[in-house]
Structure 1
């Protein structure tokens, strides 16, 4: 590590830590600010219980007048004396049986001090301010007539016809839109979760057509695999679907990955998607069965109750967790509502528990919106679940579409039309926009891609990004998309592209995604079984051999992959970089190697290992002879569209002893090596793998299923966990976007990112044989879509030196990855 970057890394860490700990100087000497200090406390702890007609204890707090009127216990605020005020006393725990809030975190000492001082200073309240009610919103869809487009604003987009007047009435500039380069990066990250490729950028930026942005959106959404793998993270969070973790070992949990992935690939209509999750089809049942927790659990954590809570949160945008113990303190739901929904999923009668104590009452199956229809308690569980699914997608359930379009708007714009996302009974900042989008989604067959395209082609989406609203803003005002941080998966994917360190394979087997542009018929598995001795097909000593093959590429590579097998074990290297390994000879490994090849000289190399036999009751290893063989085929699609097939054969070179130096690189001197021996044709005994090898080659040629493995389809690691990827044991509908100390430490000194940077440095030194200045330019262009500034180039060259080595390039890559321009979506 160079001293320059060492200092820079620690400065970066210090800034992140300081950003989370800054406090306002001399705050105790200033009057309490109602909006910035009091409103957040009351909003998070009091308002959900004390608004609406059924406010708890008869106390309503939507206005100052209501607060001062008190409730069933009389006055709650004694102006001028916080200590004598019942509001403060209950929050401070002065009455053990009436501590407020009754549910959720207690007020901190700092919060209690703010409330006390606020009352001491007169309980000031801004004139006209009103907390929003938590009363339930109307259920049926609402038809919204589109207004005309405001004068002077181009186009006729329905979203802009609604928002044009909204923006105009609030005096917000709406004529300025982001440039093509920024739009390209924004929409690519939002729709497929990846930085745009250099080829896509070149084509889009050169396009002069007026509808180029709409065509770009259509092109991105047409990439079914990229779309599915990006939105898989969104739905894994919402449906708490994981590839490993709690419940999988003892069968108390089942993942739905295959069904979910295929649903996204096929763009399954959202109403059908929801129906199949509630009334399961093969592969989707893991959502409704929930997690069978080990040990003793609260009655509110039973699998049936989990199903009710998850369905309420994800598809109805409401919280049933509080009502799973008692009548809710945070909204209008009753204990019987939650238990009625849970009873739909129960195998036998479900006894109601209040605060985990049995009541002796049996829950009656029912939907939380009974006006849509009843659920028969006489039907078996599967039939009840089907009735529930039918009610959920009932045409009069406008809530289903409203919740979904609100989530999509939030995902693309940084904030929902209604906040919080899981409380749709709050007031939207534009009810017309919410209701129009919801009805439009239903009218278009619940096609989520339609809604995504609609939002992304609106002027509202193309407006310059703005900072998140400040705490003192009493009411949210839409000014444009909010600047967002990359998700964990987006950051890792972008870093993996820049460092050429994609994972070798997904955590789970995924369905095949057909690619109409592929040419499977052009692909032939070209390899033959080789070793260092032609008699190895019958019996070879246990041990390892070293193989390599050098070849020239005269044009750029569009895509490339390798299919490899070995009896018994192998490690594969391309261009000096380890790209794959395997130890099951009858399950060939497939690996994408596009970014590991370059115009000019290239090398594929392998360590092939033959295991000794194991004999004897004590399991000791006895060196014995057994069949050994290695087979590989590289399929390389050139820019011209032609395929080049390179397979293992006697032209490969072999060494029986471990070579000195970097024997996997193209520049290695292999004059002393011998030619490999062919031990069997592709279908030779004892392996007989011809059909399997050929099928794997054709399969991957006709798909992108094994190419460019994304972070969304691999297990989490320390870096992704630090960046906010949840363990998915609970429903997560929005990840926390605030930088944490853990993230700062992981980005600064984490081994996961450090390993990626090391591999990336080696890759760039292999790929770029030009000057340091050109290397810097190429890295900036790939990372942030532009050339470096003069000062950036000067600093980068200083970091790397005139003759860049691994450490120098590694430092430059880290600097680029830490740029806000890289990590943020503007």
Structure 2
């Protein structure tokens, strides 16, 4: 399965899991309701007719309630609006329609024999929306009679929630009728112009008598066709006509109308008949989306003609991309003049293979600003730039980068942000309030500062002490949560994502549709983190089967299922960090590469089964990392001293280009300052953005010499707030391994009208104006500190006109704001 399809599939999976988590407490209600309906096997024709009216009537609440909610926004200041009669009519009609839609929808699903996870979510949201609509109708009547503020507020609240409910129900309804990728498949990066590589086989090579290898190859391709075209409606997520095509036993069992495959006889096989029909035929399959290609139909026909072979064990042959587990150290190409760094030698080989050229090397100013921001997160001073430019050492760039790495506390305070995001460690928020979450900040800061070897770093996360236990302990959510969000499963998911670049979220609920990972394997891994044996739940329904206890790749070793939790964690830690686990070290070098270069060798960085743009570079970096003592600073220096890192940055039109399958690496990607980098720069040049009450971690209380002498506290040490959120800091409720580098509307509003920035600019304007009476000197010094250059004649002229004879505080405030909004300031070039 290609990475684009994988992405869009996960898009829907994310929404499913989020809603399933929110509705988990209601699942038993809906389950009993559905089970009661299953007892009735024959259906009166009228109920079937009413059920089939569901698609027609459901559009009333979707359009009317949402439209009513939009109109209500125009009446927020004055409830007695001329729009009121229209809103009341829309709410009355939409509310009644929502209730009828839920009833008719239940009749439709029950009589047509459609099941599956997507349908369950659609039904649950529909029933909840119907309930909300009843309450909405009550408050509609009450607000019409009483007109008191509290009643009006409740009416509006339920109106907006009901509108959201019908919108979400509509999304999953569209997924049912048009497939899970209905919303995302039209996006530019999800279009497929040609068949995946797994389908491009030469059918002529399959002779009359198939060899065992040919049988495996043939059925592997058949499974790939079914996965790409049929799983939307015929897999565990959605089962139409009682037909599943995602596993051998279901394929040959057939559906509600009997077998769909007659081995050896394509003409009598309903599957072949349906996929061969014209697009407008009532029986054609797939009924939505594009039809199978001529080659795909020929492949399935040939397979049936050959007796539909499906050898035992063939399902172990993956139809998805699967990365090698073992390490691999490729032979380095010979060095060339100026290309001695192993990274450059491998990049040069890639450039030659793809007919790409090296770009020019950046000047000292650009390089110094780049390494300061990437290594310690701060801007260099004009004095530091002057010293760097005067340094005669031909190897000065590597030496200065190494010196920055030795600024241990500046380094730690910058990279703390990276690891806080990845390990979802924060200072406040969900879980901290309820004491259902544990901070690892002290341990994490010390580990980064001391450059703890990465294998030891991971071992202490997986087999933790009191200070490092927060990562695998996860968040203990209040109330009832779904099975896929219990703390043991959180640990399995988070370790898989962060340490191994692996998505186990889908497999935590059912067998994954984006990889080969099975539900039982996810539970076996989660069982390592459990005090007692877990019971396997499929789509929130307990199966009665108890989980095994296994590591994800058994070739790395076994786990003693009878051991106590502490011993299981020790075994897991020892086995995962061994050099034989090449995947773990490819994952971390890929993360560091992206952090410094703007785009991973593999993208997304949490999907390490995807193809890298250079397998040799990824493999070599991972093995070199292990051979050099799991030293993260060594890796950073290796990248920072390479010629490719020192080359001109590449501007990318849109982030989708970085994820495209035909992506060609050309160099470091131009990117925006993070929330923390921007905040630290403003605090240093203007005035501190954060006061002492917002600082939740002070390293110098842990390590006295950690006080760096800065006149402000770094943003990485501050609790999240609306300013940092607007600039891109995640809430860290979930693992965050990438931040969007694109400017957003929220960011623009915060930088234009935000109170926090305005206060810092006001104080900065006063300080600069107090210390400078000469407009030209003020302008030159500000440009030097903010942009590491002197202003142009035109810029000086504009500044002089703005300041007049003597700069005033308000004028300097505006000038600071204008400089901070310059792309030259906000971007890492």
What's the counterpart of residue 137 of structure 2? none
> What is the RMSD computed on CA atoms of the aligned residues?
3.5
What's the counterpart of residue 357 of structure 1? 541
Q: 1:790 to 1:327 in 2, by over 3 A?
A: same
Structure 1 unmatched runs, 5+: 1-34, 92-114, 124-131, 516-698
For the residues of structure 1 that align with 2:496 and 2:228, how far apart are their CA atoms?
29
Q: 1:822 to 1:62 in 2, by over 3 A?
A: farther
Residue pair 1:214, 1:457 contacting (<8 A) in 2 also: yes
What's the counterpart of residue 730 of structure 2? 726
Q: 1:144 aligns with which of 330, 339, 362?
A: 330
Q: Deviations over 1:623-664 (max 9, x none)?
A: xxxxxxxxxxxxxxxxxxxxxxxxxxxxxxxxxxxxxxxxxx
Residue pair 2:682, 2:689 contacting (<8 A) in 1 also: no
Greater RCO, 1 or 2 (C-alpha within 8 Å, sep 6+): 1
Q: Deviations over 1:155-182 (max 9, x none)?
A: 4111111111211333322262111100
Structure 2 unmatched runs, 5+: 1-183, 201-215, 233-244, 252-270, 298-317
1:475 CA drift (Å): 1.1
What's the counterpart of residue 813 of structure 1? 816
For the residues of structure 1 that align with 2:484 and 2:790, how far apart are their CA atoms?
56
What's the counterpart of residue 561 of structure 1? none
Q: 1:774 to 1:357 in 2, by over 3 A?
A: same
1:705 CA drift (Å): 7.7
For the residues of structure 1 that align with 2:609 and 2:781, how far apart are their CA atoms?
50
* 1:332-481 matches, cutoff 5 A: 332-468=516-652, 474-481=661-668
Residue pair 1:513, 1:705 contacting (<8 A) in 2 also: no
Q: 1:493 to 1:135 in 2, by over 3 A?
A: same
What's the counterpart of residue 824 of structure 1? 827
Q: Does 1:784 align with 2:787?
A: yes
For the residues of structure 2 that align with 1:251 and 1:396, how far apart are their CA atoms?
38
* 1:40-59 matches, cutoff 5 A: 40-42=189-191, 58-59=223-224
Q: 1:483 aligns with which of 651, 660, 670?
A: 670
For the residues of structure 2 that align with 1:745 and 1:502, how far apart are their CA atoms?
17
The structure where strand makes up a greater share of residues is 1
What's the counterpart of residue 135 of structure 2? none
Tell me the number of residue pairs that the alignment of Structure 1 and Structure 2 aligns. 568
Residue pair 1:256, 1:287 contacting (<8 A) in 2 also: yes
Q: Does 1:793 align with 2:796?
A: yes
Q: 1:137 to 1:76 in 2, by over 3 A?
A: farther
For the residues of structure 2 that align with 1:83 and 1:458, how far apart are their CA atoms?
60
Partner SS for 1:468: coil
Residue pair 1:48, 1:329 contacting (<8 A) in 2 also: no
Residue pair 1:514, 1:704 contacting (<8 A) in 2 also: no
What's the counterpart of residue 222 of structure 1? 406
Residue pair 2:489, 2:523 contacting (<8 A) in 1 also: yes
Q: 1:416 to 1:343 in 2, by over 3 A?
A: same
For the residues of structure 2 that align with 1:48 and 1:489, how far apart are their CA atoms?
42
Q: Deviations over 1:778-801 (max 9, x none)?
A: 111111111111222222233333
What's the counterpart of residue 753 of structure 1? 757
Q: Deviations over 1:288-344 (max 9, x none)?
A: 110001122110000000000000000000100000000001111110111111111
Residue pair 2:370, 2:828 contacting (<8 A) in 1 also: yes
What's the counterpart of residue 494 of structure 2? 310
For the residues of structure 1 that align with 2:760 and 2:343, how far apart are their CA atoms?
42
Q: Deviations over 1:232-253 (max 9, x none)?
A: 1100000000100001122100
What's the counterpart of residue 507 of structure 1? 695
For the residues of structure 2 that align with 1:805 and 1:80, how far apart are their CA atoms?
76
Q: 1:375 to 1:211 in 2, by over 3 A?
A: same
Residue pair 2:699, 2:707 contacting (<8 A) in 1 also: no
* 1:12-161 matches, cutoff 5 A: 40-42=189-191, 58-60=223-225, 73-74=271-272, 81=279, 89-90=287-288, 134-150=320-336, 153-161=337-345
What's the counterpart of residue 17 of structure 1? none
Q: TM-score, normalised by structure 1?
A: 0.64
Residue pair 2:493, 2:505 contacting (<8 A) in 1 also: yes
1:394 CA drift (Å): 1.5
Partner SS for 1:459: coil
1:805 CA drift (Å): 1.4
Residue pair 2:491, 2:529 contacting (<8 A) in 1 also: yes
Residue pair 1:225, 1:705 contacting (<8 A) in 2 also: no
Q: Deviations over 1:596-628 (max 9, x none)?
A: xxxxxxxxxxxxxxxxxxxxxxxxxxxxxxxxx
For the residues of structure 2 that align with 1:87 and 1:795, how far apart are their CA atoms?
67
Residue pair 1:415, 1:482 contacting (<8 A) in 2 also: yes
Q: Deviations over 1:341-385 (max 9, x none)?
A: 111111112111000110011111111011110101111001101
Partner SS for 1:193: coil
What's the counterpart of residue 440 of structure 2? 256
What's the counterpart of residue 120 of structure 2? none
Q: Does 1:283 align with 2:467?
A: yes
Residue pair 1:133, 1:426 contacting (<8 A) in 2 also: no
1:41 CA drift (Å): 2.5
For the residues of structure 2 that align with 1:300 and 1:49, how far apart are their CA atoms?
32
Q: 1:84 to 1:721 in 2, by over 3 A?
A: farther
Residue pair 2:689, 2:757 contacting (<8 A) in 1 also: no
Q: 1:707 to 1:401 in 2, by over 3 A?
A: farther
1:195 CA drift (Å): 0.9
Q: 1:230 to 1:133 in 2, by over 3 A?
A: farther
Moved over 4 A (4+): 35-39, 46-57, 61-64, 70-88, 469-474
Q: 1:741 to 1:283 in 2, by over 3 A?
A: same
Q: Deviations over 1:205-244 (max 9, x none)?
A: 1112101101111011000011101111100000000100
Q: 1:716 to 1:49 in 2, by over 3 A?
A: farther
Q: Does 1:737 align with 2:741?
A: yes
Residue pair 1:327, 1:333 contacting (<8 A) in 2 also: yes
Residue pair 2:416, 2:445 contacting (<8 A) in 1 also: yes
Q: 1:43 to 1:748 in 2, by over 3 A?
A: farther
What's the counterpart of residue 513 of structure 2? 329
